[in-house]
Amino acid sequence: MYKQFYQGMSLTELPLFALVLFIAVFLGVVAWVFVARRSGDFDALARMPLSEQGEGRHEQ
């Protein structure tokens, strides 16, 4: 089935390139979220449900 699908295609490397690009972007986002030094942001967000109503919010 795949052989028939790709038989008329001139750019057979395109699906593989798209897969590699997707994996690279996904791993980049995961690294940015978990590895980056953003623990201060995560700590502040973790305390939000337990804080008082006005605490932790920036009044404008």
Q: How many CA atoms lie within 13 A of 50 on its CB side?
A: 5
- Give residue 14's pLDDT: 85
Q: Read off the pLDDT of residues 9-36 as tens digits, 9 standing for 90 and up.
A: 777 788 889 999 999 999 999 888 887 6
12's CB contacts (< 8 A; 6+ apart) are 6
Comparing 36 with 60, the larger pLDDT belongs to 36
